[in-house]
Chains A and B, each alone.
Chain A
């Protein structure tokens, strides 16, 4: 469905990612991990066409350089990180904007009954339907993140690109978002490509994992095969395994439930 062949990209003529090749099938979730500055966001920007690239990016066999902007946007939607809100809109108005390409062509781009229904469906999916008339300027970071996810879904894309989607979310909403994306991908046959910092969540979401290090592929393949202590320690330049075990020990110190669980694991 989506294939990259030797893709390099960067800013002001200086490449940040080099010769990236991968493929993402329908219904597949791919997580991109790696330390800060390794080129995760740059890769997302190259795939979405925000920055130009060398090499070949194909969607359903067609080079995106030969596709119109609108054709690419019908296939790929990007949920970016939260940015400044200059002017406030209601949640409903914001999500309805995701239907832009579907409304285009009509007089003054008026939404159809289907656009309104689909917007409600997306709002329901992220649990915001009952507060759809609230202004987005009054929402918490987590709620706003869900509004942007709903708007991304409203585009009806076959591929969603997410740049650190769990930022601003509490634990409950992080898990809910990951479960939602996994279901959306598995049961509706769409693809999800996400840049993640949280290794636990990345592991939970992904079928395949891409580990980037200094703009190069450090590892790529099935998540269970790719994730290894040696690789993570090397890429993040720290003892990742020790850090994770250490985090669990903190739990052990004040929660008997986890104490017992850890004992069983040990």
Chain B
């Protein structure tokens, strides 16, 4: 199938998945009602008589739509970040988590949860903002330390230093959890990730961050392509490898950091999405970056749908579902395509 058609099909599938994410649940809502409610809220068009005054309107607009959109944004951001990290570090297992984003963010979240610390003007956003700051600081410290150890900022040095920092920060987190046992459940739950009780405010903050992040990353796709062939080669082709590497690592860490800060640690998507996208669309980052957004976003919406409906009215942690669904799916896509080549 031609690349153009694959892209169009993926966008259509993403819209269908989003519709499913909004429409399915304890109360099932047909797509026509979803479109009517969105149109009513944005363009003030009249609602169909059969849903006027019913709880469906609130369920769609206040609960499910922001939740599905947030899941899409988070999944997309984490997947894009994974694609960038794998290319920059030339390692198919690399992600922002390799550089300590999640351990840093978890430590920040733990400090807020245990101490009850609250930044006055941020209110409820104290937790995500602190998580983001701690996640970013961990990554910057790791990359800065790697640059001090190795002025060429070699990939292996970055990965090793990132893992050391990640393990070190995790050890502090474990100590906090061991001391503050009263908060153990809350801390563990945050680390599993969840989209429950998320409203439009989270979407409104995350949407511009993800959009700007992806547009900036999209402007670096040629450099990412070239760097996958080796840094010396990229250097002789005129790429400012050192500067681009710093920019890409910071941007993708910020993307993951801001995404997980709102919902807790969500793993696995950053690992599988880039591989699946490359298998389907090829390795050109011009396509890989936007398609990672669509694939990661759709996959996360499906995982959240499963997490909130499979043992309804209770919810499962979405972080576990991503791995439960993702691992066999990844194995199927990766190995079946490989056999075919």
Chain A residues in the interface with B (C-beta under 8 A) = 45, 48-50, 69-70, 72-74, 76-78, 80, 83, 85-90, 93-94, 97-98, 100-101, 103-104, 108-109, 137-138, 155
Contact = CB atoms under 8 A, between A and B. Distances in A.
Interface stretch (B26-34, B222-230, B295-303, B322-330): B222-230
Contact of B218 (A88, A89, A108): A108
Interface stretch (B109-117, B234-242, B247-255): B234-242
B314 interface: no
Contact of A73 (B223, B225, B237, B278): B237
The CB with the most chain A CB atoms within 10 A, among B218, B219, B235, B240, is that of B235
A69 B236 CA distance: 8
B238 A73 contact: yes
A68 to B, nearest CB: 9
Given A69-B240, A83-B230, A108 B221 contact: yes
A103 B222 contact: yes
A76 B236 contact: yes
The CB with the most chain B CB atoms within 10 A, among A76, A80, A97, A109, is that of A97
Interface in B67-124: 87, 90, 92
Interface stretch (B132-140, B191-199, B282-290): B282-290
B341 interface: yes
A86 B92 contact: yes
B233 interface: yes
A155 B232 contact: no
A87 B238 contact: no
Given A83-B229, A90-B282, A100 B236 contact: no
B237 A101 contact: yes
Given A100-B239, A101-B238, A89 B284 contact: yes
A111 to B, nearest CB: 9
A18 B221 CA distance: 40
B231 to A, nearest CB: 9
A141 to B, nearest CB: 15
A108 B238 CA distance: 16
A87 B236 contact: no
B221 to A, nearest CB: 7
Nearest to B225: A97
16 contacts: A45-B232, A50-B236, A73-B238, A77-B236, A80-B230, A80-B232, A80-B233, A83-B233, A90-B282, A93-B283, A97-B229, A100-B223, A103-B222, A108-B221, A109-B219, A155-B237
Contact of A93 (B90, B225, B341): B225
B287 to A, nearest CB: 10
Closest 4 CB pairs of A and B: A73-B238, A87-B283, A78-B236, A109-B222
Nearest to A102: B238
A257 to B, nearest CB: 43
Nearest to A80: B233
A87 to B, nearest CB: 4
A69 B238 contact: yes
B235 A87 contact: no
Q: How large is the interface on B (under 10, 10 to 19, 20 to 34, 35 or more residues)?
A: 20 to 34
A100 B278 CA distance: 22
B222 A73 contact: no
Contacts of A90: 282
B134 to A, nearest CB: 31
Interface of B: 87, 90, 92, 218-219, 221-223, 225-226, 228-230, 232-233, 235-240, 278, 282-284, 286, 341
A138 B341 CA distance: 9
Contacts of B283: 87-89, 93
The CB with the most chain B CB atoms within 10 A, among A69, A86, A103, A137, is that of A86
Given A80-B230, A87-B278, A87-B283, A100 B235 contact: no
B236 A98 contact: no
B302 to A, nearest CB: 26
A73 B241 CA distance: 13
B116 to A, nearest CB: 46
A88 B341 CA distance: 12
Contacts of A88: 282-283
The CB with the most chain B CB atoms within 10 A, among A45, A74, A87, is that of A87
Given A93-B225, A93-B284, A100 B238 contact: yes
Contacts of A86: 87, 90, 92, 228
Contacts of A76: 236
Contacts of A80: 230, 232-233, 236
A32 to B, nearest CB: 17
A89 B237 CA distance: 17
Contacts of B235: 49-50, 69
Contacts of B87: 86-87
A100 B286 contact: no
Given A69-B238, A69-B240, A89-B283, A50 B232 contact: yes
The CB with the most chain B CB atoms within 10 A, among A94, A100, A104, is that of A100
A109 to B, nearest CB: 4
B92 A74 contact: no
B62 to A, nearest CB: 38
Given A83-B233, A97-B226, 6 more contacts: A78-B232, A87-B87, A88-B282, A93-B283, A137-B341, A138-B341
A58 to B, nearest CB: 18
Contacts of A87: 87, 228, 278, 283
Nearest to B284: A93
B245 to A, nearest CB: 14
